[in-house]
Amino acid sequence: MEIFNSLLPELIRIVVCAVCGAVIVFGNALVMGYAERKLAGRIMLRPGPMEVGFHGLYQLVVDGLKLMGKQLVIPVNADKPLYMLAPLLAFAPVFVPLLVLPFSEKIQGFDLDIGMLVILAFASINVLAILIGGWSSNNKYSLFGAIRSVAQNVAYEIPMLISLLAIVFMTNTFSLKEIAAAQSPVWFVVIQPLAFLIYIVAMVAETNRAPFDLPEAESELTAGFHTEYSGMSFSLFVLGEYANMFIVCSVATVFFLGGSSGIPLPFFEYTGIVWFLMKVYLLMFFLVWIRWTYPRTRFDQLMNFCWKYLIPFSLVNLLITVVMVKLV
Amino acid sequence: MDINKVKKQWQGLTTAIEEVDYAVSGYDYNLSLERDKVRDLAVLMLDEGFYLVGLMAVHVAPAIEMVYQFAYHESRCRVMARTSVDENGEIATISDIFQGANWHEREVRDLHGVVFIDHPYLHPLILAEEDVDLKPLLKAEGKVKNVDAIRRKPPEPAPEPKPKVVPEVKPEATKNQEQS
Amino acid sequence: MSMDIEVLEDSSHHRYVLNMGPQHPSTHGVLRVLLELEGEYAMHLLPVLGYGHRCHEKIAEFKPAKSFMPNTARMDYLGALIYNHGFAQLLEKAVGIEVPERAEYIRVITSELNRIQSHLLWYGAYLLDLGAFTPIMYAFDDREHILDILEDVTGSRLTYCYFRVGGVSKDIDEKFVTKTRAFIDRLRSRYSLYETLVNGNVILENRLNDVGDLNPHTCNRYGITGPLLRGTGVAYDIRRAEPYSIYSQFDFEIPTATKGDCMASFMVRFRELEQSLRIIEQALDGLPEGPVMAAKVPKKLNIPAGDYNSSVESPRGELSFYLVSDGTDVPYRLKVRTPSYSNLSVVPEMCQGMLISDVVSAMGALDLVIPEIDR
3-class DSSP string for B15-65: EEEEECCHHHHCCCEEEEECHHHHHHHHHHHHHCCEEEEEEEEECCECCCE
* C240-247 contact pairs (CB < 8 A, 24+): C241/B73, C241/B75, C241/B76, C242/B22, C242/B76, C242/B78, C242/C311, C244/C85, C244/C89, C244/C310, C244/C311, C244/C312, C245/C85, C245/C89, C245/C104, C245/C107, C245/C108, C246/C101, C246/C104, C246/C105, C246/C108, C247/C108, C247/C279
Is the minimum CB–CB distance between C204 and chain A shorter than 8 Å?
yes
Is the minimum CB–CB distance between C141 and chain A shorter than 8 Å?
yes
Of B99, B91, B88, residue with least CA distance to B34 = B91
For residue B148, name the pLDDT band (cuts at 50, 70, 90).
confident
Position A328 scores a pLDDT of 77
Nearest to C297 among B26, B100, B174 (CB): B174
Q: For residues C314 and C280, what is the distance between their CA atoms, to the nearest angstrom?
A: 16
Position C6 scores a pLDDT of 52
pLDDT tens readout for residues B32-88: 888 888 888 888 888 888 888 888 888 888 888 889 998 888 888 888 888 888 888
Chain C residues with CB-CB distance to A301 below 8 A: 206
Q: Which of C5, C242, C247 to mutate to test the interface with B (most CBs of B within 10 A)?
A: C242
Domain containing B154 — which CATH number? Answer: 3.30.460.80
Domain containing C87 — which CATH number? Answer: 1.10.645.10
Q: Do C310 and B80 touch (CB under 8 A)?
A: no
Nearest to A219 among C25, C134, C198 (CB): C25
Name the minimum distance, in Å, from the CA of A306 to any CA of chain C: 15
For residue B163, name the pLDDT band (cuts at 50, 70, 90).
low
pLDDT tens readout for residues A4-55: 677 777 788 788 888 888 888 888 888 888 888 888 888 888 888 888 878 8
What is the count of structural domains for chain B? Answer: 1
Q: Do C309 and B69 touch (CB under 8 A)?
A: yes
Q: Which of B112, B125, B135, B147 to mutate to test the interface with C (most CBs of C within 10 A)?
A: B125
pLDDT tens readout for residues A112-157: 788 888 888 888 888 888 888 888 888 888 888 888 888 888 888 8
User: Residue C294: helix, strand or coil by DSSP?
Assistant: coil
Q: Do C127 and A211 touch (CB under 8 A)?
A: no
Q: Do B169 and C302 touch (CB under 8 A)?
A: no
Chain C residues with CB-CB distance to B49 below 8 A: 220
Instruction: Please state which of the ranges A256-260, B176-180, C78-82, C183-187 shows the lowest mean pLDDT.
Output: B176-180
What is the count of structural domains for chain C? Answer: 1
Q: What is the DSSP letter of C249?
A: G
What average pLDDT does the structure give for chain A?
Answer: 84
Number of Cβ within 10 Å of residue A18's Cβ equals: 14
Q: Which of C203, C204, C206, C368 to mutate to test the interface with A (most CBs of A within 10 A)?
A: C203
Is the minimum CB–CB distance between B69 and chain C shorter than 8 Å?
yes
B–A contact: 3+ Cβ pairs < 8 A: no
CA distances from A140 to A182, C18, C40 (A): 48, 7, 11
Share of chain A above pLDDT 90, in %: 1
Is the minimum CB–CB distance between C352 and chain A shorter than 8 Å?
no
| Residue C200 and residue C251 in contact, taking contact as beta carbons nearer than 8 Å | no
Position C116 scores a pLDDT of 92
The secondary element (H helix, E strand) that includes residue A195 is helix A193-206
| Chains with at least 3 CB pairs less than 8 angstroms from chain A | C
Q: Give the bridge partners for B90, in sequence order.
A: B115
Return the residue of C nearest to B138 by Cα. Answer: C58
Is the minimum CB–CB distance between C38 and chain A shorter than 8 Å?
no
Q: Looking at chain C from residue 189 to 248, which residues have their Cβ under 8 Å from any Cβ of chain B?
A: 216, 219-225, 229, 234, 236, 241-242
Q: Do C132 and A294 touch (CB under 8 A)?
A: yes
Is the minimum CB–CB distance between B140 and chain C shorter than 8 Å?
no
Nearest to B166 among C236, C300, C326 (CB): C300
Residues 6+ apart with CB under 8 A from A113: A173, A174, A175
| Residue A287 and residue A35 in contact, taking contact as beta carbons nearer than 8 Å | no
| Residue B35 and residue B84 in contact, taking contact as beta carbons nearer than 8 Å | yes
Q: Encode chain C (375 residues) as per-residue pLDDT tens digits.
A: 344 555 555 555 677 888 887 888 777 778 888 888 887 888 888 888 888 888 888 888 888 888 888 888 888 888 889 999 999 988 888 888 888 888 889 999 999 999 999 999 999 888 888 888 888 888 998 899 999 998 988 888 888 888 888 888 888 888 889 999 999 999 999 888 888 888 878 888 888 888 888 888 888 888 898 898 998 988 888 888 888 888 888 888 889 888 888 889 888 998 898 899 999 999 988 888 888 888 887 888 888 888 889 999 999 888 999 988 888 888 888 899 899 888 888 888 888 888 888 888 888 888 888 888 888
Chain A residues with CB-CB distance to C131 below 8 A: 210-211, 213, 217-219, 294-296
Return the residue of A nearest to C142 by Cα. Answer: A45
Name the minimum distance, in Å, from the CA of A200 to any CA of chain C: 17
Nearest to B174 among C93, C216, C299 (CB): C299
Q: How many CA atoms lie within 13 A of C59 on its CB side?
A: 15
Supply the DSSP string of C24-75, one letter for each residue.
-TTS-SS-EEEEEEETTEEEEEEEE--TT---HHHHHTTS-GGGGHHHHHHH
Chain B residues with CB-CB distance to C164 below 8 A: 174-175, 178
Position C3 scores a pLDDT of 44
Position B154 scores a pLDDT of 66
Q: Looking at chain C from residue 145 to 164, which residues have their Cβ under 8 Å from any Cβ of chain B?
A: 164
Range A211-239 average pLDDT: 81
Nearest to C130 among A140, A213, A296 (CB): A296
Position A1 scores a pLDDT of 57
Q: Do C225 and B137 touch (CB under 8 A)?
A: no
C213: left (phi over 0), alpha (psi -120 to 50) or beta: beta
Chain B residues with CB-CB distance to C256 below 8 A: none
Chain C residues with CB-CB distance to B24 below 8 A: 93-94, 96, 308
Position B178 scores a pLDDT of 46
Chain C residues with CB-CB distance to B160 below 8 A: 96
Position C13 scores a pLDDT of 61
Tell me whether residue A326 is exposed, middle or buried, using C-beta atoms within 10 angstroms of its C-beta: 0 to 12, 13 to 18, 19 or more: exposed
Answer whether residue C184 is part of any domain: yes
Of B121, B129, B125, residue with least CA distance to C374 = B125
Is the minimum CB–CB distance between B180 and chain C shorter than 8 Å?
no
Q: Do C203 and A294 touch (CB under 8 A)?
A: yes
Range of the domain at B144: 3-179
Is the minimum CB–CB distance between B128 and chain C shorter than 8 Å?
yes
Q: Do A299 and C133 touch (CB under 8 A)?
A: no
Instruction: Work out the angle at residue A34's Cα, subtended by the Cα atoms of residues A28 and A38, and round it to the nearest 5 degrees.
Output: 140
pLDDT tens readout for residues B90-143: 888 888 888 888 889 988 988 888 888 888 888 888 888 887 888 888 888 878
Q: Do A294 and C201 touch (CB under 8 A)?
A: yes
Return the residue of C nearest to A227 by Cα. Answer: C24
Return the residue of C nearest to A144 by Cα. Answer: C40
Range of the domain at C278: 58-343
A–C contact: 3+ Cβ pairs < 8 A: yes
Q: Looking at chain C from residue 91 to 110, which residues have their Cβ under 8 Å from any Cβ of chain B?
A: 93-98
Model confidence at B168: pLDDT above 60: no
User: Residue A320: helix, strand or coil by DSSP?
Assistant: helix
